[in-house]
């Protein structure tokens, strides 16, 4: 992905980027930019991300993939022009969406409220509000996303390893002068703060210019998308100082 992005900016005649930033998978790409093309990147802001997936993160992705491939309509990936694997993709999205939220945010939003009823149905229809929410999210996702794309994107996430299997992040950051602002969120259990701190530790071991900010939020991994007030101020200040130092 990053190689293609570089080809694009080469084509556009852009010699250097003031910053490369992104959250989640976008954060991985920001890290890859700084590692592979440090002379082209003045600064990087990886947000709510990691240098490599943990076993738990891979496990969640595998559950989603298995849900898609277990749908008979997936047909080994050959479903174009036919009925798509909507049921499997919907379940994959439901699993994924659970990981984006936090226990606290789900408790505040749904609790154990029942959906338009006063007692349990015992018939496997929707009882709880959270069940209705997940089914809605899953059903809507199938209209705007391709199942095979979901499979390959999750594999790309799982395969990503900034250290290329060596285990030494410090060595990855041993060259270049890219500045870093690493941001994580307290309630993010999909990409927990310890993974951001691993990146920060590796950068500091190489005496790199790095700032780290763990922001308080109840929104889980979704925080970088919805809890943007304090995040905006942190990024604004970092970009201003980066620009001032490089004009």
The 10s digit of each residue's pLDDT in 20-58 is 999 999 999 999 999 999 999 999 999 999 999 999 999
Tokens of 113: 């409220």
pLDDT tens by residue, 65-81: 999 999 999 999 999 99
Q: Please confirm, yes or no, whether 36 is among the known catalytic residues.
A: no
What lies within 8 Å, CB to CB, of 223 at 6+ separation is 48, 185, 187, 188, 215, 217
CA distance 29 to 10: 17
Pick the catalytic residue from 105, 196, 221, 227.
Answer: 221
Options 61, 71, 127, 188, the catalytic residue: 188
188 is known as an active-site residue: yes
pLDDT interval class at 123 (50, 70, 90): confident
Separation between Cα atoms, residue 114 and residue 54, nearest integer Å = 35
Range with lowest mean pLDDT among 73-87, 165-179, 227-241: 165-179
24 is catalytic: yes
For residues 177 and 189, give the distance between their C-alpha atoms in angstroms, rounded to a whole number.
Answer: 31
Contact 5, 36 (CB under 8 A): no
Residue 247 scores a pLDDT above 80 = no
Q: pLDDT-based confidence at 140, cuts 50/70/90?
A: very high
At 166 the pLDDT is: 74
8 Å CB contact between 113 and 158: no
Which is catalytic among the residues 24, 184, 187, 196? 24
Residue 12 has pLDDT above 80, yes or no: yes
Q: How far is CA 240 from CA 14, 116, 232, in A?
A: 20, 51, 12
Residue 199 has pLDDT above 90, yes or no: yes
- Please give the class, per CATH, of domain 55-157: mainly alpha
**Sequence-separated contacts (24+) of 105-109 with Cβ below 8 Å:** 105/187, 105/218, 105/219, 105/220, 105/222, 106/130, 108/218, 109/133
How is the chain split into domains, by residue range? 55-157
């Amino acid at each position: 992905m990053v190689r293609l992005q570089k080809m694009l900016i080469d084509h556009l005649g852009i010699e250097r980027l003031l910053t490369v930033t992104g959250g989640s998978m976008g954060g991985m790409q920001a890290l890859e930019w700084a590692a592979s093309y440090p002379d082209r990147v003045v600064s990087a802001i990886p947000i709510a991300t990691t240098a490599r997936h943990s076993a738990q993160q891979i496990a969640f992705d595998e559950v989603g993939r298995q849900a898609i491939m277990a749908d008979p309509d997936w047909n080994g990936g050959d479903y174009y022009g036919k009925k798509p694997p909507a049921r499997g993709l919907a379940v994959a999205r439901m699993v994924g969406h659970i990981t984006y939220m936090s226990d606290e945010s789900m408790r505040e939003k749904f609790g154990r409220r029942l959906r338009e009823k006063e007692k349990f149905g015992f018939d496997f229809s929707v009882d709880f509000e959270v069940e209705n929410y997940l089914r809605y999210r899953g059903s809507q996702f199938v209209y705007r996303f391709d199942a095979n794309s979901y499979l390959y994107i999750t594999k790309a996430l799982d395969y990503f390893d900034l250290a290329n299997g060596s285990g030494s992040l410090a060595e990855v950051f041993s060259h270049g002068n890219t500045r870093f602002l690493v941001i994580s969120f307290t309630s993010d259990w999909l990409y927990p703060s310890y993974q951001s701190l691993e990146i920060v530790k590796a950068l500091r071991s190489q005496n790199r210019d790095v700032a780290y900010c763990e922001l308080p939020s109840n929104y889980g991994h979704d925080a970088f998308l919805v809890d943007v007030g304090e995040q905006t101020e942190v990024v604004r200040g970092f970009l201003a100082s980066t620009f001032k130092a490089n004009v």
